[in-house]
Structure 1
Amino acid sequence: MNKFFQKHVHFLLVFSAIWSCTSKETTQESPVKATGYARHVELTWPAQEGAKAYEIWVKNSGKNDFSKRATVKDTLYMDFVNDLGNNLELRYRITALSQGGSSSEIGTQQVLTKDLTDEQLIDMVQYYTFRYFWEGAEPHSGMARERIHLDGDYPQNDQNVVTTGGTGFGIYGLLAGIDRGWISRAEGAARFEKMVNFLEKADRFHGVWPHWLHGETGKVKAFSEKDDGGDLVESAFLMQGLLAVREYYEDGTEKEKAIATKIDQLWKEMEWDWYTQGGQDALYWHWSPNYGWEMNFPLEGYNECLITYILAASSPTHPVPASAYHKGWARSGGINTDVEAFGYKLTLKHNGAEKMGGPLFWAHYSYHGLNPKGLKDRYADYWQENKNHTLINRAWCIDNQDDHKGYGEDLWGLTASYSVNGYAGHRPGHDLGVITPTAALSSMPYTPQESLKVLKNLYYNYGDRVFGRYGFYDAMSPEANYYPERYLAIDQGSIVAMIENHRSGLGWKLFMGAPEIKEGLKKLDFTSNP
């Protein structure tokens, strides 16, 4: 049994209690399955041959007649029952509509809704978000799809394009899923085996993967015209997750150890030193077999890329010198600043956002495995920096100088996400009235109670508009009536990874336990005392 599994038996029982206490199944024969939560019921049923749609009907306890809730084409429906009340006893009936217009009953099911504790609510949100990487993964590769649009609208026809960085984030969710019993250990191993086998054969450029890959073939999909080769940062996000898997399987079965060995080989084949352009002074983000170094994007702090230098310094085969970190990332000390906003200080100069900090993903992406608690070097206390960054972002939304609808202590969080007109890097000073759930939820380690207020508001007051089969949708704007039923892997991945770190520290324990990482941090003069 994995050494982390026993520590989470309590949380497994909590989730099991939700599942058993809030759901009653009348008979095993009914093909309709129902699970009740605080404000919604999830219904599933098998697809019926010849059906063009399905009707969902409900009857409250004590009522004689069913009333229709919805007509859908899917075989999963989430019924938000705020209008019916709390702590309900409901009976659902699902009917299939044929092409000819006739209807036939599939089955009925009884279910309870029940008030949830804070821990149960967090557990539910984490579980739903985990499903993006488990149920929503691209089937051939096992990797995370770049995006999932429940509306079925994919303008670039990229529904099977997978993301390396987003997969790395989601790996922490899959590990949490094993630990919490949402999937079995054998199921988890099978998924990681598929993923690693795919990555072995997929396009790599000096051991480094591109940002996007075609899930069916493993061939590169260009992120932009000249970004058709190695993406060092996205590959760092991926390897941050893979090394956690390697550590998780350290004392595993023969199959699990074989997965760990393959990961170790992929890690050793990454040529971090190639991405210095032959110098000693910085890492560079991109290299293309067609355009070489033309993008010429040095990694200079501070933004989301800290983990890239940690891994590059830690490589057992292709390391970069400490000078690359101190001269490049830290700009020979120029990374430091002394600014204050809303009473909170920042000691790192956030690129392009020096006064109030960048989008909140900068406090998340490098820290799914890298534990910021007690992490310090000559430039910053990373826990305090990330906490203050989060509190400034929150304070900006509460201050709400632009009077955006809905903003407040229970609705804050600006980061990069879908936006009303495309995609935007939302942050203080560049605020378009769009709240991105991942911003506050992924900040739960830094601001547990403040983030919980946002989670509760999103679920209890906006749930029917912002919560779907893979958790909270990517973005929302009450003033623009903007509630797209769309997900992005990088945002869902941060939620499930950082919530797990808040609850158990699982990702932090695994990644920080890797011996190379310990040595790499020492090499860069970091101290860590979590």
Structure 2
Amino acid sequence: MKLTHLLLALGLLLAPTLLPAQTPKPKPIPAAKAAPFDARRRPRGLSDEQLLDAVQRQTFNYFWELGRSNSGMARERSNASFDTGPEVVTTGGTGFGLMAIIVAAERGWITRPQAAARVNQIVNFLWKADMYHGAFPHWLDGRTGHTIRFGIKDDGADIVETSFLYEGLLCCRQYFTKDTPDEQNLRNKILWMWEGVEWSWFTQGQNVLYWHWSPNNGWSMNHQIHGWNECLITYVLAASSPRYAIDRAVYDQGWATGPEYKNGKTYYDTKLPLGPELGGPLFFSHYSFMGLDPHGLKDQYADYWEQNRAHTLINHAYCLANPKHYPDYGPNNWGLTASDSWQGYAAHSPTEDLGVISPTAALSAMPYTPEFSKLAMRHFYDDLGDQLWSPYGFYDAFSEAHHWVAGSHLAIDQGPIVVMMENYRSGLLWKLFMNSPEVQRGLKKLGFESPYLKAN
């Protein structure tokens, strides 16, 4: 299956009309047409460090190139399937993209002023976009800033997506500290918007957070946020709010409850403290922990380094055991998480295994299992790169059993690759987020321990 992207040909400017008295100028040399992207021409023989650089940088292109619009925000996906198009931008995916922009600036792929200008563009857009009690919807129209309905009744606030967005925005406020107009503006507006998110209002006066609220449908979705899943960051930020913070009882009685919170079982010789059977999709250990550093992060319920490493090891061991006998699973081909699949979007996991490997699963697990993640990275690039490598990094998912490769990329899958690989390499985003004074207050309020909290 040949998968290529045709790049736009460079346009030619018409030469100006010559006046009679002018000396004729040499005719301009026609600009060469850009060659179509050909994955087969990617660099070979890269060292581990070179390959980490290549994967991070190429994946970052998703946010940088597709963000060249009025909003600057992250497109929901690179293609226009599932009734979405280029005007659909995602708030949570933009939070991940903001963190990727910081990585790009720090590694010199773009300049710091370029990064600050793009973040400023995004912040100015959000400043005027639809919000509900300070929270943003899942999707926005990247041209107008108006809400695009995510579901039949999901046409208002989404505090989980809002928390992913602020995970990135707070990192930006920590990183862009210079006294330039762009950096001053983005810091000020991030602070004002952050102060305005009415987290406590989303409890409805109960000791639990509710995921959605709609101006048309009120609380009718009635989705309480219970753990264990990707939403730990939502409770941490709700406790960290400067003006509308939740009480600890909301965390203890709301988040730390439910049939899929505590686990304690052993799978493939690894004990899993929290979560559903066999751990669930791997994004549970990625989204919240792009900012939250799990090293030494503990509360009365779990040690979160142990939790995330156990989750990853179980996912890896399941793929090696391969109980459904897919022909391609193995030590260098593993990783089950939510992504596109050959039969539509699915939350791939050991209990929902469709034979689909999602590169973001193993790559974003780099901090937890670097030895296994690097094997997968090399396989994706060296062995399968002719089919998987694209202008925006690896395609979203593939299934050798079904002879299928996604022709798509998703913001929420691209962002964790750049950010979690950087956290493995330098801890950059962890340091920024965990050194936020509000985040530290919120973690203390909820009873967390962390090396970042010892100095205060």
Same fold (TM over 0.5): yes
CA-based RMSD of the aligned residues comes to 2.1
- Give the one of 383, 386, 396 matched to 1:461: 383
- For residues 495-518 of structure 1, the C-alpha deviation after alignment (integer angstroms, 9 at most, x for no partner) is 111011111111000000100111
2: CA distance between counterparts of 1:331 and 1:143? 34
2:226–2:258: 8 Å Cα contact kept in structure 1?
Answer: no
2:37–2:390: 8 Å Cα contact kept in structure 1?
Answer: no
- For residues 316-363 of structure 1, the C-alpha deviation after alignment (integer angstroms, 9 at most, x for no partner) is 111110100000001299832311100111111x2xxx3211100000
Partner of 1:171: 98
CA positional deviation for 1:81: 4.5
- Give the one of 220, 240, 256 matched to 1:314: 240
Given residue 187 of structure 1, which amino acid in structure 2 is its aligned partner?
Answer: Q
2: CA distance between counterparts of 1:407 and 1:155? 28
Q: Are the structure 2 counterparts of residues 345 and 215 from structure 1 closer, same or farther at C-alpha, using a change threshold of 3 Å?
A: same
Partner of 2:253: 327
Partner of 1:441: 363
Q: Secondary structure at the match of 2:263?
A: strand
- Give the one of 54, 59, 62 matched to 1:124: 54
CA positional deviation for 1:49: 6.4
1:229–1:289: 8 Å Cα contact kept in structure 2?
Answer: yes
Given residue 172 of structure 1, which amino acid in structure 2 is its aligned partner?
Answer: M
2:366–2:373: 8 Å Cα contact kept in structure 1?
Answer: yes
CA positional deviation for 1:255: 2.9
5 Å matches for 1:335-484? 335-348=261-274, 350=275, 354-484=276-406
- For residues 42-69 of structure 1, the C-alpha deviation after alignment (integer angstroms, 9 at most, x for no partner) is 997842569xxxxxxxxxxxxxxxxxxx
| 2:149 maps to 1:227 | no
Q: Secondary structure at the match of 1:419?
A: coil
Q: Secondary structure at the match of 2:345?
A: strand
Q: Are the structure 2 counterparts of residues 356 and 155 from structure 1 closer, same or farther at C-alpha, using a change threshold of 3 Å?
A: closer
Q: Are the structure 2 counterparts of residues 306 and 190 from structure 1 closer, same or farther at C-alpha, using a change threshold of 3 Å?
A: same
Structure 1 residue ranges without an equivalent (≥5) = 1-40, 51-72, 83-112
Partner of 2:188: 261
Q: Are the structure 2 counterparts of residues 252 and 333 from structure 1 closer, same or farther at C-alpha, using a change threshold of 3 Å?
A: farther
1: CA distance between counterparts of 2:84 and 2:279? 35
5 Å matches for 1:485-500? 485-500=407-422
* TM-score scaled by length of structure 2: 0.91
Answer 1 or 2: higher relative contact order, Cα 8 Å, separation at least 6: 2
5 Å matches for 1:144-293? 144-149=74-79, 153-154=80-81, 156-279=83-206, 281-293=207-219
1:43–1:78: 8 Å Cα contact kept in structure 2?
Answer: no
* TM-score scaled by length of structure 1: 0.78
CA positional deviation for 1:156: 1.6
Aligned pairs, number: 430
1: CA distance between counterparts of 2:72 and 2:435? 26
Partner of 1:58: none
CA positional deviation for 1:122: 0.7
2:342–2:406: 8 Å Cα contact kept in structure 1?
Answer: no
Given residue 320 of structure 1, which amino acid in structure 2 is its aligned partner?
Answer: I
Partner of 1:47: 10
Q: Are the structure 2 counterparts of residues 462 and 270 from structure 1 closer, same or farther at C-alpha, using a change threshold of 3 Å?
A: same
2: CA distance between counterparts of 1:326 and 1:431? 32
1: CA distance between counterparts of 2:433 and 2:387? 36
2: CA distance between counterparts of 1:45 and 1:318? 48
Q: Are the structure 2 counterparts of residues 396 and 189 from structure 1 closer, same or farther at C-alpha, using a change threshold of 3 Å?
A: same
Partner of 2:37: 77
1: CA distance between counterparts of 2:336 and 2:169? 28
Partner of 1:16: none
1:326–1:333: 8 Å Cα contact kept in structure 2?
Answer: no
Partner of 1:38: none
- For residues 97-123 of structure 1, the C-alpha deviation after alignment (integer angstroms, 9 at most, x for no partner) is xxxxxxxxxxxxxxxx55211000010
- Give the one of 122, 134, 143 matched to 2:64: 134
Q: Which has the higher helix share?
A: 2
1: CA distance between counterparts of 2:422 and 2:135? 28
2: CA distance between counterparts of 1:466 and 1:275? 41
CA positional deviation for 1:257: 2.1
Structure 2 residue ranges without an equivalent (≥5) = 14-32
1:314–1:517: 8 Å Cα contact kept in structure 2?
Answer: yes
2:366–2:374: 8 Å Cα contact kept in structure 1?
Answer: yes
2:98–2:169: 8 Å Cα contact kept in structure 1?
Answer: yes
Q: Are the structure 2 counterparts of residues 515 and 333 from structure 1 closer, same or farther at C-alpha, using a change threshold of 3 Å?
A: farther
CA positional deviation for 1:170: 1.2
2:312–2:368: 8 Å Cα contact kept in structure 1?
Answer: yes
CA positional deviation for 1:233: 0.1
